[in-house]
A and B are shown apart, each in its own frame.
Chain A
């Protein structure tokens, strides 16, 4: 029994907790991507760097608050600074829409042109972020770092294996749940949300029934920018902030959106967790867990690792390819990309 508990704790500590946190961060990112895709009908490559920009603003305000001694311990100060980051990211997204994407919308350009334009926007965002905060790693986490620490857990349970749960991990999952609930409520229950869905289903019909396209587009950008900032700040709090990291996140985020069915908000959330758990479980070495579970003498010599950790991002690629080949609509029957 104790062996089983040890194995369970080990698995939770190194697989379940990190994968859940990572999945929540991907889900928030994928939700933003999917919203843009449904309403504006293109894959926004600049989403990762919009995350970086919003996070950068949040970090700067956090530093200011920390210098003034304002905090909400045991929660991180960044939560207090978050609204500023969201407003900044929203402003940037709206300006980009007016200066770049509106032009192509009026011309009714092909989606691929939007995608290429968004790649350009991505580089500009990234340059802005680096210009202000530099290229190095930034840490802005404060408050109580741990909910449960490894030594405390060991002392509490008497088990050999320890379990650590960080504040940022709990925060990520809770905030993700709240944000997703809000987005679902907004899309399904409010007038604006319904008009967004109508616009997405059939643009011409929506226009005929008096829905203002400008309003729908603006609200979509506001939602996407807020979600991006939220995802970015949570990722930065949980791991560390570096302007280039968000660009690397783009691939798993798109994989999540597509796995779930692009254009489906539920799909984005489920996809986020599918991708995160695949990445972590496929690259985890099961030697420790199996040593506890198998009878003595049968413990494996090798690491029992399916893929090296170097191949973590390759997992997203493989998922993406398999889904596009086998079920292009994704789990929840989204649009075909």
Chain B
């Protein structure tokens, strides 16, 4: 009797050892703060990818991935660092999907992720400064650097024959970074930035800012701000006083709320860019997202899926849930050569990896990691026509 009991106990112990412990993956986004309206969808998208990989049962050793959420607050670097610290030491996460805003992402990377050797994949930090971060290869992002957006905007402006523009940007890292990268790219093309002035968000009156911009003598205004904040105030004041007739918008200015507020006067005066992908990758993700009751066009929702999927795939390529292994195999699974993998095909990708074959993860946004491990990026160019943004093309 004793022997039987012992045998049962031992075999039970063995069985539980075989069904591997779930591996924790941190999902650190600003669930409170300025981005709180878009982060739940981003987290859901990332968790969808992790679940897809776990449910396939094809991760090495049959491990499952367990998302652990933490709050980056988007603006408070100290709080974000504490939250990430908790994930890495308390929850023992092997990789982090996040963070969202460039400031807190830099803080987490330099204070926690890089010193502790944990891979971070941000779906939405776009500051050019992150490209030159001392990251020991642990930091990746599925969102493109704003340096690239600056180039796209400079191309658009110079192709339309404009040689002189006034630039106004929101007074933070994002606005300043984008304004600088646009100016560098535009001047390289022989254009001239007549004035580059910051505006503060949350003010009632932007007429003084617009007056200074107008005085520069340029006829075209580049607005690199936020659609529900100072950017709208600037556009409204510029139209009211007749200071500018032509506008170019950065990605923060995309939104129907601006058109609703300013009215039909804006029609035909605006060309803007925002991150966006066309073609197969986007269509496949749209179908997948809708099947899970998610909005595929949500801000940084596809990028979030890709960030989480890349973590799962490079874990498989590494052969175990090893922090450094995930880092080393990230670029292999993300880039060519290999078979193209789209959203919803993670099981197929895991099979291929198990067979020792190369994959080229395309995911929801046509991922291609360049330079220090950041998305090359693709932008949708739109104009405002008949009270709605109309897509002109992609570049």
Interface residues of A (CB under 8 A from B): 13-15, 18, 22, 136-137, 139, 149-151, 162, 164, 166, 235-236, 239-242, 244-245, 248-249, 279-280, 283-289, 291, 303-305, 308-310, 312
Which residues in A have their C-beta under 8 angstroms from that of B240?
Answer: 164, 166
Which residues in B have their C-beta under 8 angstroms from that of A13?
Answer: 241-242
Structural contact, B216 and A137, CB atoms closer than 8 A: no
Interface residues of B (CB under 8 A from A): 171, 195, 197-200, 202-205, 207-212, 214-217, 228, 232-233, 236, 240-243, 261
In addition to A150-B242, A249-B204, A303-B212, 12 A-B residue pairs with Cβ atoms within 8 Å of each other are A14-B214, A239-B204, A240-B233, A248-B204, A280-B211, A283-B208, A284-B208, A285-B215, A285-B216, A288-B214, A289-B215, A310-B200
Considering the chains assembled together, what is the distance between the CA atoms of A283 and B202 in angstroms?
19
**What's the least CB distance linking A47 to chain B, in Å?**
16
Contact residue among B202, B216, B236, B261 (Cβ-Cβ distance under 8 Å from A245): B202
Q: Which residue of A lies closest to B260 (CB)?
A: A139
Which residues in B have their C-beta under 8 angstroms from that of A305?
Answer: 212, 215
Considering the chains assembled together, what is the distance between the CA atoms of A304 and B233 in angstroms?
24
Given contacts A162-B242, A305-B215, contact A245 B198 (CB under 8 A): no
Q: Is the interface of B mostly helix, strand, loop or mixed?
A: mixed
Structural contact, A280 and B212, CB atoms closer than 8 A: no
Given contacts A151-B242, A244-B202, A309-B209, contact A137 B215 (CB under 8 A): no
Which residues in B have their C-beta under 8 angstroms from that of A289?
Answer: 215
Which residues in A have their C-beta under 8 angstroms from that of B217?
Answer: 287-288, 291
Q: Which of A14, A279, A284 has the most C-beta atoms of chain B within 10 angstroms of its own C-beta? A: A14
Structural contact, B212 and A283, CB atoms closer than 8 A: yes
Which residues in A have their C-beta under 8 angstroms from that of B228?
Answer: 136-137
**What's the least CB distance linking A331 to chain B, in Å?**
24
**What's the least CB distance linking A10 to chain B, in Å?**
8
**What's the least CB distance linking B167 to chain A, in Å?**
13
Structural contact, B197 and A308, CB atoms closer than 8 A: yes
Which residues in A have their C-beta under 8 angstroms from that of B211?
Answer: 14-15, 18, 280, 284-285
Contact residue among A15, A149, A235 (Cβ-Cβ distance under 8 Å from B204): A235
Structural contact, A239 and B205, CB atoms closer than 8 A: yes
Considering the chains assembled together, what is the distance between the CA atoms of A304 and B195 in angstroms?
12
Considering the chains assembled together, what is the distance between the CA atoms of A331 and B240 in angstroms?
35
Considering the chains assembled together, what is the distance between the CA atoms of A304 and B200 in angstroms?
22
Structural contact, A279 and B208, CB atoms closer than 8 A: yes
Q: Which residue of A lies closest to B263 (CB)?
A: A145
Given contacts A240-B204, A245-B204, contact A139 B212 (CB under 8 A): no
Q: Which of A285, A289, A291, A308 has the most C-beta atoms of chain B within 10 angstroms of its own C-beta? A: A285
Contact residue among B198, B203, B212, B242 (Cβ-Cβ distance under 8 Å from A285): B212
Considering the chains assembled together, what is the distance between the CA atoms of A18 and B243 in angstroms?
14
Given contacts A137-B228, A166-B240, contact A18 B207 (CB under 8 A): yes
